[in-house]
Structure 1
Amino acid sequence: MKTKSESSASNPPQLFGLVLAGGSSLRMGHDKGVLAYHGMPQRDYVYQLLNKVCENVFLGIQEQQLGSIPKEFSSIMDQNKYKGPFNGVMSAHETYPEAAWLVLACDLPFMDAEALQFLVQQRDPTKHATAFMGKNAVYPEPLACIWEPEGLRQAKAYLSASEKQSPSQFLLEVGVKTVLPSNEQLLFNANSVEDYQWAKDHLKGREGS
């Protein structure tokens, strides 16, 4: 008889994609999902990226965003049971509990299809998650990460038993497969207006060359 780990390795859970597009950012002063780095709202761009590597893709949104989402995009509304990024991730898990989720935030403007394909190739479904982690990073990156269903079940128990609400801390504590990105810039996090302008200028130069 196969162990649970062996079964996961030979028949991994289906992979769904989740765009974390949950509304306004205080530091940015705008909804990060509607900022344009690639000639379209970033949430649309990330949705298209995930569509290349996942069976189904969803936008994780707040209720007040519902009217602004294009009809061709599937969405999952945040259930607001948890704080921070776990809110969107766990809302997706509770909607489709048997799926693995490739979670991608809207504030990683340099992330591309090649990097996501590499992450999927490196996926280890016997681990709780497979996450990008920069060379000098302290934590795995929870918002550029494949979360396995068992990992999310463990996260739910962790959230119930702990006051901590940090997905980065959870990944560090449970142990996950980490993947070094081919370029550290892939994990650049645009959190401010200055970050946005810097990233946009660099992408314009790269895509225009």
Structure 2
Amino acid sequence: MTVGAVADLAGAVLCGGASRRMGQDKAFVEWDGVPMARRMADTLAAAGCRPVLAIGGDGLRLAALGLQVVPDDRPGEGPLAGVLTALDAAGGRGVVVVACDMPQLRPGAVASVAAALVGDAQVALAVAPRREPLCAAWAPSAGPVLAAAFAAGVRALHAVLETLRVAEVSISSQDVRNVNAPSDLAH
């Protein structure tokens, strides 16, 4: 896939997790006064992704934040299912997918990941220092591979990466720092 620019990609914020450790829906937990789902959508938009979609989660509350909501096609089935929903919703375009709980992700880091989705790469992943499939640009050609893995019972994105053509992009570990519990909110 030759993309050339983040403007060629849709953006998607995965909002469907259970948020068990946080004790409340992470998508609506505020970081610097802004709900994390909104903050992540703004980051994707600032990087140039269009449209930006909120995948899964509480659709009414997400819509009240001004987000374009796409119900998860496979609710409760994990991030691989969310990426599949995002690819389907992107209508044949590539999509930058991020988790809703990385509020320190910068637009420049998103643009770097998106810029790596060139040639025959099916996914461009952030690496900080380990692979982060929930900060990645996914080519439409990854969809059938992900769908086949899902149909075979695979739910973990990292388990599918070995079957894809992957480009890796080193970014700061702060960009992909997850906020999983109330103690992670200190910054």
Q: Which has the higher helix share?
A: 1
The 8 Å contact of residues 2 and 117 in structure 2, kept in 1 or not, is answered as: no
C-alpha displacement of 1:9: 2.3
The equivalent position to 1:78 in structure 2, one of 72, 79, 85, is 72
Q: Given the two structures, how large is their TM-score scaled by the length of structure 2? A: 0.87
- Residue of structure 2 in register with 1:151 after alignment: 142
Report SS of the residue matched to 2:64: coil
Larger radius of gyration: 1
Please list, as runs of the form range in 1=range in 2, the aligned pairs for 1:1-209 lying within 5 A after superposition.
8-9=1-2, 14-22=8-16, 24-52=18-46, 53-62=48-57, 65-68=58-61, 69-70=63-64, 72-80=66-74, 83-135=77-129, 137=130, 140-160=131-151, 162-181=152-171, 183-196=172-185, 198=186, 202=187
Report SS of the residue matched to 2:175: helix
Report SS of the residue matched to 2:141: helix
Q: Which has the higher strand share?
A: 2
CA displacement, residues 87-131 of structure 1 (integer Å, 9 cap, x when unaligned): 222122233341111001111122111211222233325211001
CA displacement, residues 112-166 of structure 1 (integer Å, 9 cap, x when unaligned): 112112222333252110010122x2xx211100011101221111222x33211
C-alpha displacement of 1:60: 0.7
- Amino acid aligned to 1:186: D
- Amino acid aligned to 1:36: E
Structure 1 residue runs of 4 or more that deviate by more than 4 Å after TM superposition: 10-13
CA displacement, residues 22-48 of structure 1 (integer Å, 9 cap, x when unaligned): 254111111111111132111111111
The 8 Å contact of residues 37 and 101 in structure 2, kept in 1 or not, is answered as: no
Aligned length: 184
Question: RMSD of aligned C-alpha atoms?
Answer: 2.2
The 8 Å contact of residues 82 and 165 in structure 1, kept in 2 or not, is answered as: no
